[in-house]
Structure 1
Amino acid sequence: MTLFESTLPIYRRSLTTLSAMLTKAQAHEGGDALLDAKLADDMHPLATQLRFLSNQPGEAVARLTDRTFTSRDDNETTLASAKAVLAEMDGFLAGVEENELVDAHSTIVMDIPNGMQFTLTAEQYVRDWSLPNFYFHLTTAYAILRQAGVPLGKADFVPHMMPYITKMPTE
Structure 2
Amino acid sequence: MPAVPPGEIEIVTISLHEASVGVFVPYLGNLSSLLDKASAHAEARNIDSAVVLNMRLSPTMYNLKQQVGEAKRHAIVACALLAGRAPHTFADTEPDIPELQSRISATIDFVQGLPREEIENAADKEVAFTFKNGTQRNFTGKSLLLTFSAPQFFFHVTTAYDILRHAGVDLVKKDFLGQPR
* Contact 1:104 1:121 (C-alpha < 8 Å) held by counterparts: yes
* Contact 2:83 2:115 (C-alpha < 8 Å) held by counterparts: no
* Contact 1:32 1:77 (C-alpha < 8 Å) held by counterparts: no
2:124 matches 1:111: no
* Contact 1:51 1:72 (C-alpha < 8 Å) held by counterparts: no
Runs of 4+ more than 4 Å apart: none
Q: What are the ranges of 5 or more consecutive residues in structure 2 without an aligned counterpart?
A: 1-13
Name the SS for the 2:138 alignment partner: strand
Name the SS for the 1:160 alignment partner: coil
2:76 matches 1:63: no
* Letter in structure 1 aligned against 2:158: T
* Contact 1:26 1:79 (C-alpha < 8 Å) held by counterparts: yes
* Letter in structure 1 aligned against 2:162: A
Match of 1:43 in 2: 61
* Contact 1:48 1:75 (C-alpha < 8 Å) held by counterparts: no
- Matched residues in 2 for 1:88 and 1:61: separation? 14
Cα shift at 1:87: 0.7
Note the aligned Cα RMSD (angstroms): 1.8
Name the SS for the 1:5 alignment partner: helix
* Contact 2:27 2:178 (C-alpha < 8 Å) held by counterparts: no
- Matched residues in 2 for 1:15 and 1:149: separation? 21
Cα shift at 1:52: 1.1
Of 61-70 and 122-131, the range deviating more from structure 2: 61-70
Cα shift at 1:116: 4.2
Residue 113 of structure 2, aligned match among 95, 108, 113 = 95
- Matched residues in 1 for 2:34 and 2:93: separation? 18
* Contact 2:80 2:111 (C-alpha < 8 Å) held by counterparts: no
Q: What are the ranges of 5 or more consecutive residues in structure 1 without an aligned counterpart?
A: 164-171
Q: Give percent identity, aligned residues only.
A: 30
* Letter in structure 1 aligned against 2:19: S
Match of 1:153 in 2: 172
* Contact 1:35 1:77 (C-alpha < 8 Å) held by counterparts: no
Match of 2:154 in 1: 135
* Contact 2:80 2:114 (C-alpha < 8 Å) held by counterparts: no
Of 149-158 and 72-81, the range deviating more from structure 2: 72-81
| Per-residue deviation, residues 24-82 of structure 1 (Å, max 9, x unmatched) | 11101323421010000011111111111122111112211122114446364311111
Pair member with larger Rg = 2
Q: Given the two structures, how large is their TM-score scaled by the length of structure 2?
A: 0.82
Name the SS for the 2:171 alignment partner: coil
- Matched residues in 1 for 2:132 and 2:155: separation? 18
Residue 81 of structure 1, aligned match among 99, 115, 118 = 99
Cα shift at 1:115: 5.1
2:42 matches 1:23: no
Q: How many residues align?
A: 162
* Letter in structure 1 aligned against 2:70: F
